[in-house]
């Protein structure tokens, strides 16, 4: 069903706004027509749309997320290798943007007021967002312009590309709370979720400013590779909050939850968020045994430790503690004695 054919009186965002957003090509056209910088995009028909040059990005116009409908086409050959996808119709090609960073801004807009949350950098890994933290760039102006261009009311997540020159382009608009806004739960007076309710209900909006430096790391299904993450390790952390989404199967790349860390400085928050996630990762048996053998080596070499051995020792300390190490070492020694 086309959303525009369904227009109850008080739908927020409006059906026409959603209708524009759900087609990535129409979204680009509307933004560019309103003078909001965004990559040039054209529909793919029988081949490379004329007027565009390589490198290009080809995208499904509808329904993609976490890069699932996005492919790079640096050359004609690469473009042709995606023929099986675009030949079916409903795909676009657009300029490849050689961005320096990806940014995002949450925007709330009602007939009375428009506010932007602080600009964040979104660091991606394999097209999936890995880390989010408030950064020194300011994407508020262009993000608000993008929401105005689609006549949007409610809460929106605006994904941006920052060029090496500092210029900013809009990548895409999400008409809802967004992964890049999760840290607002702990770091801002009014979270993105409460803000959406306030906007939709016509209530006063409250503040979008950052109360404390923060960083958010996503927990992808990969973290479950060697078993259930070690949730207990989080209990030792100050100012770290775990959010799990209740998904049952932890497939690699699937967003299962996130952790937000608050700290005195942005740099602290960022490095602690990485540490917290690293400690959650359960290490497989082979790694523990490998590390234990490393300890054995350390014992053998009479204090002559190299960096690699120090690292292995650190992992072992973290993973099984001193008591566990002596048990493991005892087992290895007994095993060797037996031969």
Where do contacts with ligand ADP occur on this chain (CB under 6 A)? Answer: 39, 57, 59, 64-70, 94-97, 102, 124, 127, 159, 171-172
Give the nearest distance from C-beta 9 to ligand ADP in angstroms: 30
Q: How near is the Cβ of 249 to ligand ADP at its closest, in Å?
A: 20
Strand partners, 70: 59
Return the number of the residue (171 or 191) whose C-beta is nearest ligand ADP: 171
CA distances from 8 to 16, 20, 202, 335, 339 (A): 11, 17, 16, 74, 79
Question: Residue 117 and residue 201: Cα distance in Å, rounded?
Answer: 19
Q: Which is nearer to ligand ADP, 99 or 193 (CB)?
A: 99
CB of 64 to ligand ADP, least distance (A): 4
CA dihedral 62, 66, 68, 69 (to 10 degrees): 40
Number of Cα atoms under 13 Å in the Cβ half of residue 41 = 28
Name which of 67 and 290 has its Cβ closer to ligand ADP: 67
Residues 6+ apart with CB under 8 A from 257: 218, 219, 242, 243, 244, 245
Judged by CB, which is closer to ligand ADP: 81, or 124?
124
Report the residue number, 126 or 141, with the smaller CB distance to ligand ADP. 126
Smallest gap from residue 223 Cβ to ligand ADP (A): 20
Q: Smallest distance, Å, CB 2 to ligand ADP?
A: 20
Q: Which is nearer to ligand ADP, 67 or 324 (CB)?
A: 67
Nearer to ligand ADP, 23 or 237 (CB): 23
For residues 112 and 331, what is the distance between their CA atoms, to the nearest angstrom?
A: 70
Sheet holding 70-73, edge to edge: 41-43, 91-95, 56-60, 70-73
Interaxial angle between packed helices 140-149 and 24-33, expressed in degrees from 0 to 180 and rounded to the nearest 10: 110
Specify the 3-state DSSP secondary structure of 158: strand
C-alpha to C-alpha distance for 68 and 88, rounded to whole angstroms: 16
49 three-class SS: coil
Residue (64 or 324) nearer to ligand ADP, CB: 64
Smallest distance, ligand ADP to C-beta of residue 133, A:
16
Q: Where are the alpha helices (DSSP H) in 113-206?
A: 140-149, 184-187, 192-201
Please report how close the Cβ of residue 138 comes to ligand ADP at its closest, in angstroms.
20
Segments of 110-239 assigned E as strands: 114-116, 120-125, 128-134, 154-162, 168-174, 214-220
Minimum CB–partner distance for residue 219 and ligand ADP (Å): 18
> In the complex with ligand ADP, which residue's Cβ is closer, 57 or 210?
57
Q: Which residue is nearest to ligand ADP (CB)?
A: 97
Nearest approach in angstroms of CB 32 to ligand ADP is 13
């Amino acid at each position: 069903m086309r959303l525009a054919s369904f227009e109850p009186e008080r739908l927020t965002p409006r059906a026409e706004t959603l209708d524009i957003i759900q087609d990535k090509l129409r979204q680009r056209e509307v933004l560019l027509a309103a003078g909001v910088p965004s990559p040039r995009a054209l529909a793919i028909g029988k081949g490379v749309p004329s007027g565009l040059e390589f490198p290009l990005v080809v995208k499904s116009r509808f329904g993609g997320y976490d890069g699932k409908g996005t492919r790079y086409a640096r050359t004609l050959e690469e473009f042709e290798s995606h023929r099986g996808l675009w030949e079916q119709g409903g795909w676009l090609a657009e300029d490849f943007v050689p961005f320096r960073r990806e940014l995002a801004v949450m925007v709330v807009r009602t007939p009375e007021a428009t506010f932007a949350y602080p600009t964040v950098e979104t660091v991606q890994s394999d097209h999936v967002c890995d880390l989010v933290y408030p950064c020194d760039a300011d994407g508020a102006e262009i993000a608000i312009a993008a929401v105005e261009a689609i006549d949007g009311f409610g809460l929106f997540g605006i994904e941006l590309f920052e060029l090496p020159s500092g210029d900013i382009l809009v990548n895409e608009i999400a008409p809802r709370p967004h992964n890049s806004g999760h840290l607002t739960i702990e770091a801002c007076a009014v979270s993105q979720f409460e803000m959406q309710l306030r906007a939709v209900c016509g209530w006063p909006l409250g503040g979008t400013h950052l109360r404390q430096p923060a960083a958010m790391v996503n927990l992808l299904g990969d973290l479950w590779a060697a078993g259930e993450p070690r949730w207990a390790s989080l209990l030792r952390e100050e100012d770290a909050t775990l959010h799990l989404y209740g998904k049952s199967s932890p497939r690699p790349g699937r967003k299962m939850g996130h952790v937000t860390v608050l700290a005195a400085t942005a740099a602290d928050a960022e490095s602690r968020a990485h540490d917290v996630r690293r400690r959650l990762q359960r290490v497989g048996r082979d790694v523990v045994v490998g590390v234990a053998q490393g300890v054995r080596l350390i014992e053998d070499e009479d204090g002559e430790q190299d960096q690699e051995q120090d690292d292995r020792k650190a992992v072992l300390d973290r993973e099984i503690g001193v008591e566990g190490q002596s048990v493991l070492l005892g087992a290895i020694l007994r095993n060797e004695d037996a031969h």
